[in-house]
Every structure is written in C-alpha cells, then in structure tokens.
Amino acid sequence: MSSSFPWLTALIVVPLLGAVALWVLPAGRTRAVALGVALLELLLGVAALTAFDVADAGAVQLTEVHGWIPAFGVSYAVGVDGVGLILVLMSVLIVPLVVLAAWREQGALTVATDQLRRYLALVLLLEAFIVAVFAARDVFFFYVLFEAMLIPVYFMIGLFGGAQRRYAAVKFLLYSLTGGLIMLVAVIALYLQGPGGPQGFLTENLTGLTLDPTAEKLMFSAFFLAFAIKAPMFPVHTWLPDAAENAPAGTSTLLVGVLDKVGTFGMLTLCLPLFPNASRWAAPVVIVLAVISILYGALLAIGQKDLMRLIAYTSVSHFGFIVLGIFAFTSTSVAGSSFYMVNHGLSTAALFLIAGFLVARRGSQQIADFGGLQKVVPVIAGTFLVAGLSALSLPGLSTFVSEFLVLVGTFARHPAAAIVASLGVVLAAVYVLWTYQRMFTGPVRPELATMPDAVTREKWVVAPLLALMVVFGFVPGPALDLVRPPASVTLEQVGVQDVPAAAATEGSDQ
Amino acid sequence: MTDFVAPDVDWAALSPVVIVLIAAVLGVLVEAFVPVRARRTVQLSLALAALFGAIIAVAALWSGVEDTGGTVVLGGSLLVDGPTLVLQGTIALLALLALLIIADRTETGEDAFAPNAAAVPGSEYEELARRKGVRQTEVYPLVLFATGGMLIFPATGDLLTLFVALEVLSLPLYLLTGMARRRRLLSQEASMKYFLLGAFSSALLLFGIALVYGYSGSLRYSEIAEATQVPGGLDSLLLVGSVLILSGLLFKVGAVPFHTWTPDVYQGAPTPITGFMAACTKAAAFGALLRIVYTMLPGLAWDLGVVLWTVAILTMVVGTVAALVQTDMKRVLGYSSIAHAGFILTGIIALNQAGITAVLFYLLVYGAATIGAFGIVWLVRERSGEGPGAVLGEATHLSQWAGLGRTHPLLALTFALFLLSFAGIPLTAGFAGKFSVFSAAVEGGAWPLALIGVLASAAAVFFYVRIIVLMFFTEPAGTDEEATGTAVAAPSGDGFAAIGDTAVVVEARSTVTTTVVGTEGFAVVAIAVCAILTVVLGVFPSPVLELIDGVAAFLP
C-alpha cells in the first residue's frame, strides 16, 4: 500500500462513476450496482484509514494538489486531518445503509424501478460531493462543492418527496444558495488579502494572514452565515423541518445526518483558522445563539405532530451543542464537538431510517397515526428506542461521550452557558420518551395489528449504526485519538489558551 | 492646401470584418440572381462559410496580436488588439450558432419568419403568401450585415466609426425583429418600439459625440483621453458629452434605465433572432463600452463612477425583481438578460486588468447559454389536435412548460443546465463568469457592487428554479391544475409558499397541448454545442481564461 496512492481522489471518483453507471445501465441491475459501489466506497474509506497516520492526526494527510483554474488561483487540493477523515468515514458508512433502505422507500422492494435508479444515481452523486467537501483543502474548491451539492439534494427532495416537496425543495435551495453566495463575496475578498498567485486559494496559504480587523469581521460573518444556515442554527433553521418533512427518509438521513455537518465542519476548519480574531470577537454571540438553538429546537421538537419534523428539530438542538463546543474554545469542547458530529450522524441516521421504515408501512408521518406498535413490531420498536436514547445521550451510547465532553469543556470557560445548555438534555428526554410512548406503547390499534416487522435487509440497515454507537459509547478512545490533535491545532490557530477540564475529561474516557 | 493622402490599409487585420461584410453583399446579390429553389442552400452555405471564415481569420491574426499587442488600422479608426480579437471571435462563434437556429425549419418546413414581412398582418395578401408557401431568405444577408456591424463595433478607435458601426448593426436588427411568423402584430410593435427607442438613443450618442468633440477637438479615443488630462474650463461639456455617449451604449446593452425596450423586443422578435440579438449585440456593445471606459474616459473614472455604479445597481436589482413576476418565458429571459447586463457592468466598473478578462469571458459564456436557451424556447410549441400540421407557435407561457421534464427529459435537462448557468451555480460556465466579474469588482474596490450582485443572483435563482420546478416536479398542464397555479403564482407575501398552493386555471389553454417540434436538426446541433460549451467552460475554464488573459490589453 504505497502512501502515494490518491485515496481521497479514489473516494471521490468511485461514487461518481457509480452514478454514471446507474444512469447508463438498465434499471434491472440498479440495486446490485448501487450497493456494490457504496460498499466498495466503504472499503476504500477503511483502506484510507489504514494509510492515515493516526499518531499525527492533527496534520493534514493524504494530500493531493493539482492546479485546476490557475487563472483564478484555484487548485484541486484534497487532504484530511483526523476530523475530516472521521467525517468521510461516517459518510461512506451511512450511504450503503441509505441505499439499502431506499428499496422499500422508493417502492422498489421486489423489482428495481426506473425511479429507484434515478434516485440512487443522485445518492451516489451526492456522496462524491460530500467526500470531496470534507476533504477540500482549497477554499474555492470547498465553495464550489458547497454549492454544487445542493443540486442533487434539490432533485432528491423535489422529485421523490412528499406532498409539499416543491415548496420544500425550493425553500431549501434558496436558503442555502443565499448563504453560499454571501460567502462567495467573502471568499473573493479573502483571496485578495492572501498571497494570490495560481495557488492563492489553498487553505494553508490563507491561514494566518494579517487581516484588517473590520474586513476580518465582515468576512467571518459571511462565512458564518453560510455555515449557520447549513448547520442549521437558530434563527436560520426554518428550512430544515420543511425539507425533512417532505424528503424521503433516506434523503433526510443524508441531508441532516451528513450534509449539514458541512456547516459545523466549515465553522471548525474554515471560520476558526482563517479568521481567528473575528472568531474570538464573535464567540459570545455565537454561544448565545447556540444555547438558544439547543433549547428552542428541543422545545419545538416536543410540540411536533409529524415524526420527521420532530427528528429535524432534535437536530437543530444537537447542532446547537456542536456549535457551542466549537466556539467554547477549549480542547475538550472542540474535540467533543468533532466527535459529536460523527455521533449525531449515526444517531440521526438511525432515527430517520427507522422512522422511514415505519412511514413506508403506515403511509403516514403523523405520530398520532401510530400506537401500541411495541407488540406488533418489537424489532423496530427496540431499535427506535435505542436510537432515541442515543439522541438523549444515554450513558453507554457514544452520543453521551461527546455531549459530555462538550458540556464539560464549555463549563471550563462559560459555566453559565454550559448550565443552561444542559437543560437541553432534560428536554431531550421528554421528546424522545414521549414520542416512544405515543407510538409504541398503549393498546394496539386494529389497523396496525398486521404491520410486518423489520426484514433482514432492514435489520442490516440499522445494526451497523447501533453497533457503532454502543462500541463508541464504551470505547471512544480510537475515535477521540482522531479528533483530539486537530482540536489542539485549531486552538493554536485561534490563539486562545486552552482551559483544561482535566478531572472531567478523565472521567469521560471510562 | 494639403493633399489628400489615402491611408495605408492593413487589409489582413480587417479580414474578419471584411469577410462577413462581403458575404453580406453577396447575399443581397444572391437574392436577386439565384433561383428560388436553390436560394436557401446558397444563402446558408455563404453565411456559414463567412462566419467560419471570420473565426479562422481571427485565429490567424491571434499570434501576431499576442506578440505585438495589436495594430492600428485605417489611421486609428479601427484598433485590432487583443480585446477586439476576443470579441470578434466570440461574436462570430455566437453568430454561427445563432445562424444554425435561424436557418432551421420544422418538420413541416416552417422557419421562424413571416412569409412576407411587408404584408399587413391578417390581410388577404399575407394569407396568400402563407398558402403559397413562400419562404424568405433575406434574413441571411441581414444577419450578416448585423454581424459585420457587431464585429466593427468593439474595434472602433474613434467616435464617428463607433456611430457608423452602431447603425450598421442596429438597422438590420430592427428589421429582423419585425419578421416573426406568428404573433405578427406583437412582432411589428416590437420592431417599431425598438426602432424608435434605438433612434432616440443614437441621437443621444451623436449629441454626446458632438459635445465631446467640442471639448477635446478630436474624435479619437486616445486624443480625447489626453485632452481629459488637461485641466480646462469646459468640464461640463465633457461630462455631459460622455454621459450621453455612455447612455447610447447602455441602451444597446439594455441597462436600467435604458432597458424598457428589452422585454418587449425579446418577446416580439422571432425567437432565433432574440437569441442572436441577446448574445451578439450584448457582446458587441459591451466590447465598445469596455473600450470607451478603459481607454477614452479613464481620466473621468472618478466623475463617471457614480453614474456607472448607479446604473449597475439599478440594472441588477430591476432586472432581477421584474423577472420574478413574469409569466412569459421570453420575457423572463429578457429580464434576466437585463440582470446579466448589470453583472457585466460590475466587471467594467472594476477598471482593472482582471475586469477586461472577466467581461470578455462573461460575454462568451452568457452568449452560449442564451443562444441555447432561446433555441430550446423555439422548439417548444403549442399543438392543437394531432398531426404535424397542428403544431402552432412557441409555447411561451410558463404554465405550458409544466411537466416537460417528464415528456422530454433530455431537452428539459439541457434547458435546466442553461438556467443553472444563468443562475451561476458552480460547475457551470455561468458561475465561472460571475466569479470572474465579481472578483474583478472586489479587486477594483467595488465590493459593495459585488455584494449586491450576489444578493441579486440569489434572488434570481428563485425564478430560474421556478422553471425547473415546473419542468420536473409538476404534472403537464391539463392533468394537474396545480401546474398552472405554480406558473402564474407571483411571489406575493410569503414568496415561495405560493408554489403549488394556488391553483389558477387558465382555461383558454385547455385544448392546446405543449409539444417539442421536430426540425431539420440545425438547431439541435447548435443547442448541443451551447450545452457543451456551458459545461466545459464551467468545469475547465482555465484554457479559455488564459487565452483571453494573454491578450486582454487595449491599445491606447
């Protein structure tokens, strides 16, 4: 295994070719080809992990740089540090599950349809963009992917979604594009502050610049707005519930579980290193917004009648935790946030996919249309409960580790914020357990009595997610090894003194 | 007494212009001497050969200009430098693509033009011409004359030549606008409007020329530029004059407040001509504007900055906002072209080297997408009943495009590609273009303009995307009443909530369905080339950008 093998490029190209193949091949082969490509991608991801030097996870590795548009200073530059790699791995893990889950979702359980073919082609296309965006080491390249990946999602919602799909797709696109375009101005402005030249957009060439304070604040705000919309944070989160409600479950999984991580990933790897002074300047406001997101998202989740909207609002709450950890500027909280991104991906994917199983069986997303299912579909009920418990960060599940790290790390610097944010944990218990109670306990409704339980295929969809959450819940060490060093590097770049949260950190490693 | 000395003409440097104009004159002779049967073949071959020849001539001149920086021809009246060649190449290429669409005929043998444009609409004489199957071929020489004028326009080195070129390019366009086969009255009205407003703007331009001549005593850009360096007492003469000259040019590019003709003319003109006009005229006029701002008026950058900034902002905002509420496809594209004029203006205002490259590149990518988009509009027709004879005019109402993505996926996908390029989505050529003008503007210190530009782009996405929603996410009209509702739902109050919620049924259209007409194939070739250009220039813009950047310097 030579170190010069372009792992990341391979990870980008394989799903792209898969998408083309699906487009060209007849519908009959769709399921095998799509699943094969997604699994190959997963293998490639694992292989890339073995090529990655974990001991040096704070450094950007597996790098490739080629000129792309020298006239603009743009390069095709990819490379990952520990955080980027773990997010890539999470993405390539979730995609095969989404592919498997899509068979029933797109009404192609027995025979592959043309609809499934087009849907899975878009999924693979999106996967290529996602891997590339997590690996991009060129600000312009990142921006291009950040915008371009909206298009497959737009079609995934608009072509395959529910009743209000047109509205949801357009709202999603307009929100994201507006944020992105404002970011574009800042991208250009940043380039002009940098060294310029044919590699002027490389992230490392733009890090550590001496910027005019006002310009830096403006550019930070533009970047942050784009990422906050993407993440999504209060008050620019309103597109997410609509999108999640109307998109097919698999699309929501990719959108919320994976794609939205680009927002927080961008804050972590672009906002902080590129604009350290402005980041420190904005941190108090961001922290307040993050705390509002946590509580507001949780409260709204409690009030939802639609299952998919509920999951979307829980994510608003969880993204609040991630942002809080990033802007608390302690190595514990930043590492916790990085790890939280992965765990939230696993947890949300599980919730959305299982909810998708239920919705496909029942034909309704209203929580009130379910009831007493625990006796009818025990496997689905059990897995939903575990996924739900991961959303409320039950100890023993991986989300607990990350949420704890975030809160402890934040407490060291902003005790008040950490205390208020921890109320979100209580609210999480309400929305998860109450939902479970309404859907799975109580008397069995006659019309639901014949609902089939999860089939083998569906068990395979959920099992890896739950297994990983439990494994990371008890042995978070390997994952934390990947995210800790980048956190220290980030703090150095921001230029703040780390506040140790020593005692607490020891405890969380168990 | 000074003897008249005939200027030494470097004919080689003029070859692109000369080839096209000679072909145009030959085209007139063809009309007179070639029998009807063979006329179209001859005209088309001649026109295609001429435009090909012009492209080859540009290519042949390229390396010379790259080395020397350019030649002054006709004693300074024409300047053959890098930007001239880039624009001439662009215009010739776009005209070639547009010509393919202009020349194409549907499976029933109809082209886009009236059998007898001089006939009174609705008269018996017209009906007779229609029944007899008369076909006109004058469009070919007219298009060539217009193209010839466009090739001269950005190369001009003095104001009088500028005016002559403007008229040479405009007069054939006025005529072509009035020649639509369908909706004759709309077409003639558009032609009249275009002519009157065009004449008015020519007058403004001419008056401005007179004032500037009065100030500087010269018509040459370079000498005027020198004169502006000298402090004098007649500044008002110069300022008023240059504002008038700019107004004349801004009219041609369709910038606010000189834009009012654009939607009407775009809608009324035969669709292939609209594409030609939108792409090529814009390239020529922006080329001339670029040269004047960069070489004649740099001394006035400070004074004229306010004017240009205001115009650019208004153009972007008005073009975008007005496009939001349109229900006719050609008008949507018309207003979008106004917004694009605003984006290009930000590149001109940048007043730097990057600005020149950016504007030249933008004109190419915008032109390619525009010709392709109007080509597709020309193919999407109304049909009443069955059979090829039942195909009517273009289905330009937005609601008629509903469900096109299901019935004609490839065509709709191509149209979506052009729309995404207009919207400036990354990996399309439109993004590369927008990026280059905005980055030039930020570099030139005009970042507020770039900011307004991106905000306008974001708003513009709404109406481009609305069309994509219609084509792909809506059932064809007639099967789904929502479809019509989506199309005519104006973004009132809660903008996008209107989508899919309001159901307004346009009943008159219930018997007319939408179809895509089969043709001889020229248009399909042109559209395919435009689509390929849009993708390739979006993903790999580098070679073309470098090519342009290598020669993007004006002769003083």
Average pLDDT over residues A176-195: 84
Q: How many CB atoms lie within 10 A of CB B198?
A: 22
pLDDT over 90 (residue B510): no
Residue B462's pLDDT is 83
Q: Is the CB of residue B536 less than 8 Å from the CB of residue B65?
A: no
Q: Is the CB of residue A9 less than 8 Å from the CB of residue A78?
A: yes
Strand partners, B71: B80
Q: Would you call B450 and A145 a contact, using CB atoms and an 8 Å cutoff?
A: no
Q: Would you call A169 and B469 a contact, using CB atoms and an 8 Å cutoff?
A: yes
Average pLDDT over residues A455-484: 85
Residue A508's pLDDT is 44
Residue A71 contacts B where some CB pair is shorter than 8 Å:
yes
Helices and strands (DSSP H and E) totals, chain B: 22, 5
Name the nearest CA neighbour of A313 among A289, A327, A297.
A297
Residue A463 contacts B where some CB pair is shorter than 8 Å:
no
| Cα angle A465-A468-A470, degrees, rounded to a multiple of 5 | 110
Shortest CA gap B102–chain A (Å): 33
Q: Is residue B1 included in any domain, yes or no?
A: no
Shortest CA gap B217–chain A (Å): 41
Average pLDDT over residues B337-366: 92
Q: Would you call B425 and A147 a contact, using CB atoms and an 8 Å cutoff?
A: yes
Residues of B in contact with A194 (CB under 8 A): none
pLDDT over 70 (residue B280): yes
Q: Would you call B496 and A185 a contact, using CB atoms and an 8 Å cutoff?
A: no
Q: Would you call A189 and B442 a contact, using CB atoms and an 8 Å cutoff?
A: yes
Residues of A in contact with B469 (CB under 8 A): 158, 166, 169-170
* pLDDT tens profile B48-96: 999 999 999 999 999 888 888 888 888 888 999 999 999 999 999 999 9
Q: Which of B425, B500, B546 is the closest to A166 by Cβ?
A: B500
**Which of B352, B439, B471 is best to mutate for the A interface (most A CBs within 10 A)?**
B439
Cα–Cα distance, A13 to A19 (Å, whole number):
10
Q: Is residue B2 included in any domain, yes or no?
A: no
Q: Would you call A158 and B469 a contact, using CB atoms and an 8 Å cutoff?
A: yes
Shortest CA gap A177–chain B (Å): 6
Q: Is residue B379 included in any domain, yes or no?
A: yes
Cα–Cα distance, A257 to A468 (Å, whole number):
15
Q: Give residue B217's identity as a one-letter amino acid code.
A: G
Q: What is the pTM of this model?
A: 0.85
Highest mean predicted confidence (pLDDT) among A49-63, A352-366, B89-103? B89-103
Q: Which of B426, B496, B542 is the closest to A171 by Cβ?
A: B496
Average pLDDT over residues B185-190: 90
* pLDDT tens profile B297-324: 877 777 888 889 999 999 999 999 999 8
Residue B162's pLDDT is 94
* pLDDT tens profile B459-471: 888 888 888 888 8
Query: Which residues have C-beta within 8 Å of that of residue B364, sequence separation ≥ 6?
Result: B90, B93, B94, B283, B433, B533, B537, B544
**Which of B431, B442, B501 is best to mutate for the A interface (most A CBs within 10 A)?**
B442
Q: Would you call B542 and A188 a contact, using CB atoms and an 8 Å cutoff?
A: no
Residue B478's pLDDT is 52
pLDDT over 90 (residue A500): no
Q: Which of B420, B454, B461 is the closest to A184 by Cβ?
A: B454
Shortest CA gap A60–chain B (Å): 26
Q: Would you call B462 and A170 a contact, using CB atoms and an 8 Å cutoff?
A: yes
pLDDT band at A501 (very low <50, low <70, confident <90, very high): low
* Two tokens, residue B26: 């030959």
Residue of B nearest to A187 (CA): B439
pLDDT band at B501 (very low <50, low <70, confident <90, very high): very low
Residue B512's pLDDT is 75
Phi and psi at A253, nearest 5°, equal -55, -50
Name the nearest CA neighbour of B538 among B409, B375, B420, B454.
B420
Cα–Cα distance, A410 to A504 (Å, whole number):
11
Q: Is residue B3 included in any domain, yes or no?
A: no
* pLDDT tens profile A301-352: 888 888 888 888 998 999 999 999 989 888 888 888 999 998 998 899 998 8
Q: Would you call B486 and A166 a contact, using CB atoms and an 8 Å cutoff?
A: yes
Residue A115 contacts B where some CB pair is shorter than 8 Å:
no
Strand partners, B72: B79
Residue A471 contacts B where some CB pair is shorter than 8 Å:
no
Average pLDDT over residues B315-337: 91
* Two tokens, residue B370: 């525009």
Ranges of H-type helices in A303-444: 307-327, 331-362, 373-376, 378-391, 398-413, 415-440
Query: Which residues have C-beta within 8 Å of that of residue B80, sequence separation ≥ 6?
Result: B10, B13, B14, B61, B65, B70, B71, B72, B73, B155
Q: Is residue B6 included in any domain, yes or no?
A: no
Tokens 């513009």, residue located: B460
Average pLDDT over residues B386-413: 81
- The residue that leads in pLDDT, A505 or A443, is A443
Q: Work out how many domains chain B is built from and give that number.
A: 1
Q: Which of A71, A165, A189 is the closest to B473 by Cβ?
A: A165
Strand duo A74-80 + B78-81: pairing: unpaired
Domain that holds residue B45: 15-549
Q: Would you call B435 and A155 a contact, using CB atoms and an 8 Å cutoff?
A: no
The interaxial angle of helices B429-443 and B409-423, nearest 10 deg, is 0
Average pLDDT over residues A79-108: 83
pLDDT over 60 (residue A444): yes
Q: How would you class B384 by CB atoms within 10 Å of its CB: exposed for 0-12, middle for 13-18, buried for 19 or more?
A: exposed
Q: Which residues of B120-157 are buried (b: 16+ CB within 10 A; e: fewer)?
A: eeeeeebeebeeeeebbbbbbbbbbbbbbbbbbbbbbb
Shortest CA gap B430–chain A (Å): 13
Residue of A nearest to B469 (CA): A166
pLDDT band at A116 (very low <50, low <70, confident <90, very high): confident
Shortest CA gap A147–chain B (Å): 6
Round the average pLDDT of chain B to a whole number and report it: 86
Q: Would you call B473 and A174 a contact, using CB atoms and an 8 Å cutoff?
A: no
Name the nearest CA neighbour of B366 among B253, B251, B487, B523.
B253
Residue B486's pLDDT is 40
Q: Would you call B451 and A185 a contact, using CB atoms and an 8 Å cutoff?
A: yes
How far, in Å, are B174, B247, B366, B473, B512 from residue B289 at the CA level?
Answer: 21, 10, 17, 42, 45
DSSP H or E stretch at residue A507: helix A502-509
* pLDDT tens profile B512-532: 788 888 888 899 999 999 999
Residues of A in contact with B439 (CB under 8 A): 72, 188, 191-192
Name the nearest CA neighbour of B161 among B272, B292, B276.
B292
Residue A151 contacts B where some CB pair is shorter than 8 Å:
yes
Residue of B nearest to A156 (CA): B473
pLDDT over 90 (residue A188): no
Q: Is residue B5 included in any domain, yes or no?
A: no
Query: Which residues have C-beta within 8 Å of that of residue B225, sequence separation ≥ 6?
Result: B295, B296, B297, B298, B299, B556
Strand partners, A134: none
* pLDDT tens profile B214-270: 888 889 998 888 888 877 667 788 889 999 999 999 999 989 888 889 999 999 999
Shortest CA gap A226–chain B (Å): 13
Highest mean predicted confidence (pLDDT) among A112-126, A217-231, B1-15, B112-126? A217-231
Residues of B in contact with A145 (CB under 8 A): 426
| Residue pairs between chains A and B whose CB atoms are closer than 8 Å | 106
Residues of A in contact with B425 (CB under 8 A): 147-148, 150-151, 177
Residue B487's pLDDT is 41
Residues of B in contact with A173 (CB under 8 A): 461, 465
Q: Which of B424, B457, B549 is the closest to A71 by Cβ?
A: B549
Residue B480's pLDDT is 41
What percent of chain B has a predicted confidence (pLDDT) above 70? 92
What DSSP line would sit under B508-533, residue for residue? GGTTEEEEE--B-SHHHHHHHHHHHH
Cα–Cα distance, B470 to B483 (Å, whole number):
7
Residues of A in contact with B475 (CB under 8 A): none
Tokens 């009130």, residue located: A368
What DSSP line would sit under B108-153, residue for residue? TS--SB-S-TTSPTT-HHHHHHHHTT----THHHHHHHHHHHHHHG
Shortest CA gap A152–chain B (Å): 12
Which residues of B lie inside 8 Å of A (Cβ-Cβ)?
Answer: 357, 420, 424-427, 431-432, 435-436, 438-439, 442-443, 447, 450-451, 454-455, 457-458, 461-462, 465-466, 469, 472-474, 486, 496-497, 499-501, 540-542, 545-546, 549
Residue of A nearest to B444 (CA): A192
Q: Is residue B539 included in any domain, yes or no?
A: yes
Residues of A in contact with B474 (CB under 8 A): 166
* pLDDT tens profile B361-375: 999 999 999 999 999
DSSP H or E stretch at residue B14: none
Q: Would you call B496 and A158 a contact, using CB atoms and an 8 Å cutoff?
A: no
Q: Would you call B499 and A167 a contact, using CB atoms and an 8 Å cutoff?
A: yes
Residues of A in contact with B464 (CB under 8 A): none
Q: Is the CB of residue B423 less than 8 Å from the CB of residue B430?
A: yes
Q: Would you call A170 and B545 a contact, using CB atoms and an 8 Å cutoff?
A: no
Task: Kindly report which listed range (A24-28, A421-425, B15-19, B90-94) carries the lowest average pLDDT score.
Answer: A24-28
Q: How far apart are the first and last CA of chain B?
A: 31
* pLDDT tens profile A278-303: 888 888 899 999 999 999 989 998 88
**Which of A182, A188, A225 is best to mutate for the B interface (most B CBs within 10 A)?**
A188
Sheet containing B512-516: order of strands = B391-394, B380-384, B512-516
Q: Would you call B541 and A159 a contact, using CB atoms and an 8 Å cutoff?
A: no
Q: Is residue B416 included in any domain, yes or no?
A: yes
